[in-house]
Structure 1
């Protein structure tokens, strides 16, 4: 059988379309065997070298997203059979050819290649995984390759991919070291100078003079990616990251810290994501309540206090961003602050339910809710009122009675009197509506 050829056109050479991801995935028992990636490997091998007439390879790999999707398929298959392991070797060798032959045409493609490596390396320990991670180190650090992450989306994509990989390589010696070192280098800015205009564009706020060093903004973006990784992860991955990674990479803020407007907007989005994840996990009775409350106490609440009012208003923009974009970004920042605060209240109310967590967590929730409710000068009181009203309006009656009885039994008398005046009208309205 002859080697598959690369069709030529006058405008853009194109590789023959590789098999789809679906056709490459292993099928159920009794169905026809899957095509081998050897065909794609041989195609890439043939076209990575100059032709007999000394014509060099095409400068850009055609259809790279589709090629990478096909090459990822054997790594998504949990089967450890010899056949699947061979397909993984074909996939890695094919990817190695791509890296050594075709430079990524832009930063987005470069980061997608890094993301591909991290996804493929989620497999159990093997020789192939070791080679994958050494390739990751090479593309990020080798002067000959040096894939950069300078855009906001690039920094977050690379960070999320590395965080997702951490639990899989824990305890694996050199493999774990490579991933941890990559995260350290990303925090340090060793993978490229952050494009400040891309950050300004996304959040609709200008950089403060102190932020031109980029360190604080880059760190905030990486932590925003960590929060999104926690929210999107499976329970086992989330639990590992909460136990081993969050304390390591999310430092406590100094007392009385105040963020700049742009930095506050980034942190606000991170806090909204983290608290949304925490509330969902508590409602699902996930066994991470103590970790979640610890980070709410030591990170979320202090950082919400550090977000300045300027983070949620429109400020003067650079000429590269129109006013509509700035208004949308500022509205999103305002929504993030409000959502994070609502989620924290929801976490407190959830901890009041019997069986939601340890008794100490319930006592903490009761204490902090009381303190916030007594202080009418801060927005926490309004958030508590809205949260209780929402529980009454949206929850089943058993949940409503549980929350209200717990609040009435445990809150100090002065707070209880104030709160009764808030929830009685809502409770009455809901009862009247149910009778109609």
Structure 2
């Protein structure tokens, strides 16, 4: 790490503030009295934190080495500081611990690890209204379901060593119209994900409960328990093996689980294996995936198996996103479950403006939009990303906008038909998310 001496002062000014309120005389000829750093340079010189050069110059615009910065930190550590000043110095000591040890300055294990746990998260409000002219799972009755949900998500990352980290995700949900918890969390914060992650060159190894990663949009926008290996550079290969909880699946999977439970044959934790490949070919970002699951619950899913004996899912998926330029892209997805007898295909085509990789939530004023046609067979993807319900097909229009830094809104409207019976289906969806 290199930075200029002047910018380094922004981390060292705290020492001057801790020692005295008045600046001393400036000994350097190249720091004029009207320079923004004049007082800090004078004070830090008087405190012995910086020394300059033998020709009475400071040379504030040149780059400094990590060793030179460590010398400044060592002198700052020798001062009697407390509160926020000490916290800043401890963080600097953790960053420059190796250089400080070479200087003979001992940094405790606590100081070295002070900044190795980071927390990120978000709070979001979701509104959804789903309307069926004839609902295939509710005696073909006309239904309308509205939800007002608040979600709190916390995502810690802890550095173990140079190669390994531990990551997690904690969620809590509240149904506002009922002023009550939802999604089975019972009002508590639920540990959704927890895994150890090791990186060695172009290879990533993960153990625990982690994102599926392969086909997140059309198949598995959720997590599984087990192990994952990713390797490769231009062509990346991902291999998953473990268990997948079908309780997180769509309403048709929920129906199959209930029927299996009634028959005393429930097996919600499916055995799971998958392999996926992703890579770039010019402006095309393409992917291919294969998923295999095994569970008794598949026997009972609507339209899954005529004979009620199939306990496998074997799904092949393909995805491609062609980038016309940095903002406009066309994306296509296809998936087929070769073990299911019906409703075994899913596909979508999406034309988007900043709806893919290039939407940035950091700054206010960003926006994007997309037009999509989707066909979502209920026996293909257990947990697709789309708000469009499984077992439906139709058109979707959406827009994203950053109304403030780290705050965006997302609006969607869907009109379509059910795959069973070809009846009308409509959906409205809105979200506002605050990220921290």
Q: TM-score normalized by structure 1? A: 0.29
- Which has the larger share of helix? 1
- Which has the larger share of strand? 2
Return the index of the structure with the highest Cα Rg. 2
